[in-house]
């Protein structure tokens, strides 16, 4: 099996498990409302970057510290559930936040036929 395809399959499996763990199983109140957006696994399956969406009302540094502090527990749970030959090191990062007002503005400009000026 091609390494890139395997990395994509592992990324998707990790995303599903981490979504469930972060959303429903972690008891830390600092991670309330956090959603897993996507997971990027290195081709050698040694490292995984997990992009999360942090609610606007939460302090992103506090949330990331809580998630990265629970990395060992999360990794052990992932290893138990997915039964991978090598469980990747997991690192949490804040995903790109999208301003809904900006999206609406861009969509209106596209509908009017002026998509060049995106600022």
Shortest CA distance to 21 belongs to which of 66, 86, 59? 66
Q: Give the residue extent of every domain in the chain.
A: 3-111
Using an 8 Å Cβ cutoff, are 76 and 88 in contact? no
Matching CATH number, 3-111, of 3.40.50.150, 3.30.300.20, 3.30.360.10, 3.30.1330.100? 3.30.300.20
pTM for the whole structure: 0.74
Distance CA 96, CA 72 (A): 25
Which tens digits make up the pLDDT trace of 5-64? 888 899 999 999 999 999 898 888 999 889 899 999 998 889 999 999 888 888 889 999
Evaluated on CA atoms 104, 109, 115, 119, the torsion sign reads negative
């Amino acid at each position: 099996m091609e390494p890139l395809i395997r990395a994509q399959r592992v990324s998707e499996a990790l995303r599903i498990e981490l979504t469930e763990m972060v959303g429903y199983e972690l008891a830390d109140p600092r991670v309330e409302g956090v959603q897993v957006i996507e997971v990027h696994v290195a081709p050698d399956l040694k490292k995984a970057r997990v992009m999360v969406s942090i609610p606007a009302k939460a302090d992103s540094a506090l949330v990331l510290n809580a998630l990265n502090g629970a990395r060992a527990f999360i990794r052990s749970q992932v290893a138990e559930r997915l039964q991978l030959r090598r469980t990747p090191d997991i690192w949490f990062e804040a995903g790109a936040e999208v301003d809904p007002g900006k999206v609406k503005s861009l969509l209106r400009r596209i509908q009017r036929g002026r998509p060049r000026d995106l600022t």
